Structure 1
């Protein structure tokens, strides 16, 4: 692929061209020239877009597609196209499938389905067989096949000894174990945050305590095992405090926060709209403030869309019986950009790569072209016409977002909407 990108403002603090508006020449997928003005004698395809900005390719550490087993929600092919249209050049894909991804063959299947795509797919394997929380899955075999971490998606490991064994075993090959932060015996049948709003709506509550107890337990086990832990999608201010203290003790722990938990609070559920039914649930504004502070001081290592397509028959039903989940790839940039500066937005969208073994490519001559293309300006109302996912269950439907994603240049492909 040969392409000349014209008049692009670079947002990359690791680049010598940070904050400069330049032309970028890409030949056979490699950046060969960066300059104020580049001629085009070979008549390469030119990219000229309004207020064009480029950054290092964005990474999402928690994405669910449906395949295998739930193709009606999202196929891998359409999911990777959705990621590309949303500005992501790499995604970590959960074992949220049927059958669950828990073997060497399963990991190989996911990787093979991503061959030839612009977006790189980094597969997660389940921690336990079938994600049932009973027995450890084939962690080493999956690591050998290319699994970058192990995670029973949104299913807590209730047995503390099993958690201990997972951390100890994975440490033999530098494996990363993820633990969903919820003590199910406390959360019970809760469908939203336990607080004033849940009481006024008459809905069963899932208290912040359920998350914080599980995190405290896992951090104690981590300290004992000296393993390597990632806590996905935390949602309370107390969780931030617990992880901040653990990092001060030099424990090998990272965490993420879902973008919808950074912006939407539990009052959104007053309409009983099931698109706001997510796990962990939307919390209070005080929790949001604590999460934002945790991002700013580095306690929270990365953001994620926690993209989870759900087919309409499991959303268009009574709130108590609806499935948890929201799509999030398409709204990720616009949502973050509406509350943070463009510099911070790009920082959050590119962090986390190292933790999951994703290569980074600074915008420099001789570097592989791994770029996200976007316009940081302009307010619009997000709606179904902006959704590329097969499923349309977005918690940002009808919300005001800021900025437009144009596409990506990655893996020697150009994808423009």
Structure 2
């Protein structure tokens, strides 16, 4: 396949073409030529789009699909279609299906379901058998089969010794352990951030302390053991400060933030809309400000959509009984771009590749084409018609966004939005 991108502004700080408008010729999945002007022909598919910008393909470190077990929420096929529509050339898929992805057989199944797709699917293996926080799963075998990290999705590692052993063991094969920052005994049965709003509305609170205590413990263990630790979806001002200090100490620590925690605060709960019930919970404006600062100064390595489809029966119910989670792929770039601009957005949406050992392909001649196409200037409002996911539980519905994705080029395939 030959594709010619016309007058594309290249957004790639590692490329000599950064922020320059160029024609880009792609042949058989490789970038063969970049120049001010490249002539077209009948044998070349020409792509000419309004205000076209291109960057290295984006990577989402935390997406959930339902398959296997919860296909009514999202199949792998539709999930990858949603990812491509949203500009992601690679996604890491959480181990929260049924059965839990805790063996090399499960990893093999998920990879096979994604075979031949434009989007690269990287399975995350469960850290413990059945994600039950008792015994370590077969981590080495799963990594050999293609797992890129180990994580019991949204479940804290309650046993400190289990985390210690996992960090020690995974060093022998350069594995990445994830630890969800949530001290359950402090959070108890909380459903929203513990603050004035939770008290006023009569909703059980999840204190910031529950996140921060777990992070403090995990950092002490990491300092003792060595190894690689990723803390997914932090949400508080203190968490940012703790990780900033740990990085200054030289610990091998990375972290992410979910797009919702950068855009929304706990002021949205007035109407008891369960789409806003996510974990970690939406915090205060002070927390949002600190998270944005942490993203800009590199303390936070990247942004995730934390895409988590939930079926209507488990969302359209009483607030206390509704499941945590929101879809986020379709609105992620538009929300982030409005907050920090397209250069910072691209940095945030590619910043976790190194931690998860995913190759970054520069936009240079000779590189493999793993490219996201977008217009950073289009203003729009996110509505249900923009949802590609099977589930519609979107916390950012009705939010004004900036920046539209045109599609992706990856794995020698072109996936353009209609």
What band does the TM-score fall into relative to the shorter chain? over 0.9
Structure 1 partner of 2:353: 353
- Between the aligned partners of 1:249 and 1:291, the Cα distance in structure 2 is 20
The aligned runs of 1:236-251 (5 Å cut-off) are 236-251=236-251
Which TM-score applies when normalising by structure 1? 0.99
Shift of 1:73: 0.5
Q: CA deviation at 1:341?
A: 1.7
The question of whether the paired residues in 1 share the 8 Å contact of 2:77 and 2:114 is answered with yes
Cα offset for 1:411? Answer: 0.5
Deviation at 1:113, TM superposition (A): 1.2
1:284 shift after superposition: 0.3
Write the distance in 1 (CA, Å) between the matches of 2:172 and 2:210: 30
TM superposition score normalised by structure 2: 0.99
Taking the aligned partners of 2:324 and 2:275, their CA distance within structure 1 comes to: 8
User: 4+ residue stretches of structure 1 with deviation over 2 A?
Assistant: none
C-alpha displacement at 1:42, in angstroms?
A: 4.3
Q: 1:257-289 CA distances to partner (integer Å, 9 max, x unpaired)?
A: 001101100011111000000000000000011
Query: What does 1:294-313 correspond to in 2, within 5 Å?
Result: 294-313=294-313
The Cα of 1:379 is off from its aligned counterpart by 1.4
Over residues 325-380 of structure 1, what are the superposed CA-to-partner deviations in whole Å (9 max), with x where a residue is unaligned? 00011001000011112111111111110111111111111111111000001211
Q: State the distance in 1 between where 2:104 and 2:389 align.
A: 28
**What residue is the counterpart of 1:48 in the other structure?**
48
CA distance, structure 1, for counterparts of residue 376 and residue 44 of structure 2: 26
Q: Is residue 323 from structure 1 mapped to residue 323 from structure 2 by the alignment?
A: yes
* Equivalent residue, structure 1, for 2:224: 224
1:112 is matched with 112
Distance across 2 between alignment mates of 1:323 and 1:291: 25
Q: Deviations over 1:293-326 (max 9, x none)?
A: 1111111111100000001111110100000000
Measured in 1, the distance between the counterparts of 2:41 and 2:256 equals 46
Number of equivalences: 417
Give the alignment of 1:89-104 within 5 angstroms.
89-104=89-104
Which segments of 5 or more consecutive residues in structure 2 lack a partner in the other structure?
none
Unpaired runs of 5+ residues, structure 1, are none
CA RMSD in angstroms, aligned pairs only: 0.8
Pairwise mapping of residues 8-87 of structure 1 onto structure 2 (< 5 A)? 8-87=8-87
Q: Could you tell me whether the CA contact under 8 Å between 2:101 and 2:125 is conserved in 1?
A: yes
Give yes or no for contact 2:10–2:21 (8 Å, CA) kept in 1. yes
User: d(CA) in 2 for partners of 1:95 and 1:367?
Assistant: 32
Number of the residue aligned with 1:382: 382
Find the aligned partners of 1:161 and 1:56 in 2 and give their Cα distance.
39
**1:83-136: CA deviations, max 9, x gaps?**
000000000110010000000101111111111000001110000000011111
Distance in 2 (CA, whole Å) between partners of 1:277 and 1:309 is 13
CA distance in 1, matches of 2:161, 2:361: 40
